[in-house]
Each structure stands twice: as C-alpha cells, then as structure tokens.
Amino acid sequence: MDIGTLYNGIKLVHMSCAGASVSLFTARGLWVNVARRGLWRWLRIVPHVIDTLLLASGLTLAFLIHQYPFFNSDWLTAKVIGLIAYIALGTVVFRGPSDRRWRALAGVLALLVFAYIVGVAVTMRPTGFLHFAL
Ligand code: HEM
C-alpha cells in the first residue's frame, strides 16, 4: 500500500471519529441533562474509545506529514489545546455541578470549541474559519 492511500484511509477514520464524537456528545448531553435520564453503560464507554481513536489517528497523520504539535506546527498545537478544552468541558457537562445552567453553558462552549477545531483542521491555521474573514 502506498503512503498516500494509507494517509487517506487514516484521515477518513479520523474524520469519522470526529463526526461520531460530536454526535454522541450532543446526544448524551441532551439525554442526561434535558431528558434527565441515566446513560446505558455502553454509552459511557464508547465515547472514550472514539475520542482515543480520534487523538491516535490525528497524531498518526501528524507524524506522517512530519508536523508535530508544540514543536513545528502552530495549527496542530491549536488542535491539541482545543481537544483538551473540549474534553475538559465535556467532564463539566457529565460530572460537573448539579446546577444545569452551568452544564448547559459548558455544553454550548464545548460545541463552539469543536467547531473551532474543525475550522483549524480545514484551514490548517490556528485562526480557524476566522482566517477567511481576516
Ligand atoms: C476534536 C478534535 C479534532 C477534530 C474535530 C478534528 C477534525 C479534523 C477534520 C475534519 C479533518 C479533515 C480536514 C480537511 O481535510 O478538510 C482533520 C484532519 C487532520 N487532523 Fe484532526 N481533528 C481533531 C483532532 C486532531 C488532533 C489532536 C490532531 C493531531 C495532533 C489532528 C491532526 C490532524 C491532521 C494531521 C489532519 C490532516 C490534515 C490534512 O492532511 O488535510 N487532529 N481533522
């Protein structure tokens, strides 16, 4: 298999994980905080598997193009920081204060951070979609 095919395959896995991650995040957030129902066991485990795959596939792509976060790639640094913020906000949504307003705020912020990361991915610039406006 040539390197281009491998790269495109991993990129497809990466983008699929990104789509699955945000869909599950939204569904779980609404289920727990709006419908106020408990989560099935698998719905607590699968998102961690997907987010780990998302990070692993992203890092593999980064190594294949010789761009490394915190070393020689500002847009990948922005993605990693964004991913940490997205995961941290996710913990607030699912394990944070009992006040649902804080959880809702964290959920909206997490989705905004996610949109920012997609912008960074598409433009390959830390400014994300703002790049088109600047
Ligand atoms: C929530 C987290 C993330 C999301 C939503 C995300 C999303 C995406 C998307 C949508 C693409 C395709 C962009 C395009 O071609 O138009 C992409 C590509 C890529 N991502 Fe991520 N990503 C995330 C995290 C990461 C992390 C943590 C890394 C590495 C440290 C990473 C590295 C890459 C690389 C190297 C590409 C390939 C760029 C290219 O060749 O076009 N991503 N990502």
For residue 125, the model assigns a pLDDT of: 97
- Tens digit of each residue's pLDDT (9 = 90 or more) over 3-59: 999 999 999 999 999 999 999 999 999 998 888 888 788 888 999 999 999 999 999
Query: Looking at residue 58, what is its pLDDT?
Result: 97
b (16+ CB within 10 A) / e for 15-39:
eebbebbbeebeebbeebbeeeeee
Compute the distance between CA of residue 116 and CA of residue 76 in angstroms, rounded to an integer: 12
Q: Check: pTM over 0.85? Answer yes or no.
A: yes
Of 22-26, 97-101, 108-112, the poorest mean pLDDT is in 97-101
Q: Cβ < 6 Å from ligand 1: which residues?
A: 11, 14-15, 18, 54-55, 58-59, 61-62, 65, 69, 76, 79-80, 83, 86, 114, 117-118, 121-122
Cα 83 to ligand 1 centre (Å):
10
Cα–Cα distance measured from residue 41 to residue 39, given in angstroms and rounded to the nearest whole number:
6
Confidence band for 90, pLDDT divided at 50, 70 and 90: very high
For residue 49, the CA-to-ligand 1 centroid distance in Å is 17
Query: How far, in Å, is the centroid of ligand 1 from the Cα of 35?
Result: 32
